[in-house]
Amino acid sequence: MVEYALNLDYIFASLADSTRRDILRRVSSQELSVGEIASPYDLTFAAISKHLKVLEKAKLIIKRRRGKEQMVRLSPQALANVDKYLEAYRRLWEERLDSLENYLKETEE
Amino acid sequence: MVEYALNLDYIFASLADSTRRDILRRVSSQELSVGEIASPYDLTFAAISKHLKVLEKAKLIIKRRRGKEQMVRLSPQALANVDKYLEAYRRLWEERLDSLENYLKETEE
DNA sequence: TGCATATTCAACCATATAGTTGAATGATAC
DNA sequence: GTATCATTCAACTATATGGTTGAATATGCA
């Protein structure tokens, strides 16, 4: 319960930064080393290392050592928790979309 | 584009606080005044007012004046954007759930 | 062992955030 | 207009966050 709430704190805080969202996107399709992750950004390795720490604390990524590199990949479970969180609200925005659709349909006629 | 990204920054940052998530939950079923929103929490009005500012900037809530009160309600659209953001990842955690299901099914046999 | 490569840690700085208190504003009621 | 109720603003404090630099650690290789 509390665990779950804390987890959402970490997950949402992680996702609130566009560099971290970009990292997530990139590791979602393939495992990358920390160096590979860092290279496109105009930031120090240490900064990227910190971003990865944040993502790791939120359990959004998993790191494993491969030789001298640390390999990083997405752990989709945390995002599934976000989806679960949204569940309670889905009906609300779908209703709104429905009424917009109806409105458009009626306007067509 | 940039607008959308900034929006996600604000939305996720808003959701990273359990008081704000609780406020969202409470205004999702009914419109509440700022005072009604504040009453269950052990925080000053000013603190709640700030939380509402954060939620408003993220377009998660809408305020309107009713007499001397400000009434607050959920604006579900911003959450629909989160759902849209998750879209790209849904396949990934569903695959994982599927393989867990298969594993359990096979273990049963 | 010693060197190079990959990554992290420690210390520090600047800015943002979450809270407080007390004054200020807006709207209604008298 | 004045008092009152509801809310916000301003100023301040403490802590968190995102970045830097330079030293430290971990692994692989000669």
Q: Write out the residue range of the structural domain in which residue A38 sits.
A: 2-108
Confidence grade of residue A71 (pLDDT, cut at 50, 70, 90)? very high
Q: How many domains does chain B have?
A: 1
pLDDT (tens digit per residue) in B62-102: 999 999 999 999 999 999 999 999 999 999 999 876 666 66
Decide: CB of B38 under 7 A of nucleic strand D. yes
- Distance in Å, residue A46 CA to nucleotide C9 C1': 9
Query: Is B1's pLDDT higher than 50?
Result: no
Q: Are A74 and A46 in contact (CB under 8 A)?
A: no
User: How do residues B11-63 score in pLDDT, each as one tens digit?
Assistant: 999 999 999 999 999 999 999 999 999 999 999 999 999 999 999 999 999 99
Task: Report in angstroms the alpha-carbon separations of A20 from A14, A26, A58, B11, B99.
Answer: 7, 10, 12, 15, 27
Whole-angstrom distance, CA of residue A56 vs CA of residue B59: 28
Q: What is the CATH number of the domain that holds A104?
A: 1.10.10.10
At B2, which amino acid appears? V
> In what side-by-side order are the strands of the sheet with B32-33?
B32-33, B69-74, B61-66
Residues of chain B found within 8 Å of residue A93, distances taken between Cβ atoms: 76-77, 79-80, 83
Strand A69-74 versus strand A32-33 pairing type:
antiparallel
> Is the distance between the Cβ of A45 and the closest atom of strand C smaller than 7 Å?
yes
Q: How far is the CA of B68 from the C1' of D4 (A)?
A: 11
pLDDT for residue A81: 96
